[in-house]
């Protein structure tokens, strides 16, 4: 997924325990997957951001992916609808957010069709190197 969307090669010695950590600790987030014929064909990961301004959590959609052969079949639309329904059940969830590669025009169109709007915020980061 990272290679296809961002031409990034992830270190398995880091990504495996990273995925295991979120599966063990629901406070970190959750994965939702879509299956077809017993195989996972799409996914979205949710992480949480507390907003003191709004006294509630934003759910961040991350690691959004649908296998290329399965795109344009409504898989992400179904995953997104499920996330929206789950968020609506939580009293502390005040909204959904995601970030995407700036040049991913196809994803932008999908997100806009689902009612997401581009904000005036930009993402900045500083990465601290970690070893496995």
| pLDDT tens column, 67-117 | 989 899 999 999 999 999 999 999 999 999 999 888 889 899 999 999 999
Residue 132's pLDDT is 56
**Which long-range contacts does 12-19 make (Cβ < 8 Å, 24+ apart)?**
13/132, 14/130, 14/132, 17/132
**What sign results for the dihedral spanned by CA atoms 77, 33, 88, 107?**
negative
pLDDT band at 5 (very low <50, low <70, confident <90, very high): low
The per-residue DSSP string of 17-32 comes to: HHHHHHHH-TTT-EEE
Q: What is the pTM of this model?
A: 0.86
Residue 27's pLDDT is 95
12-68 pLDDT, tens digit each: 888 888 899 999 999 999 999 999 999 999 999 999 999 999 999 999 999 898 998
Cβ proximity of 63 and 98 under 8 Å: no
Q: What domains, with CATH codes, occur in the chain? A: 2-113 (3.40.630.30)
- For residue 10, give the nearest of 130, 119, 112, 114 by alpha carbon: 130
Residue 3's pLDDT is 65
* Count of H-run helices and E-run strands, the chain: 4, 4
- Which H helix or E strand runs over 122? none
115-130 pLDDT, tens digit each: 999 999 999 999 898 7
């Amino acid at each position: 997924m990272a290679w296809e969307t961002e031409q990034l090669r992830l270190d398995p010695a880091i990504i495996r325990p990273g995925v295991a950590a979120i599966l063990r600790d629901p406070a970190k987030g959750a994965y939702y997957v879509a299956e077809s014929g017993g195989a996972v064909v799409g996914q979205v990961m949710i992480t949480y951001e507390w907003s003191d301004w709004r006294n509630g959590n934003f759910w961040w959609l991350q690691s959004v992916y649908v296998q290329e052969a399965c795109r344009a079949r409504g898989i992400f639309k179904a995953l997104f609808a499920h996330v929206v329904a789950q968020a609506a059940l939580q009293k502390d969830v005040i909204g959904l957010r995601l970030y995407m590669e700036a040049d991913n025009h196809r994803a932008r169109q999908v997100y806009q069709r689902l009612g997401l709007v581009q904000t005036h915020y930009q993402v900045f980061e500083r990465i601290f190197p970690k070893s496995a």
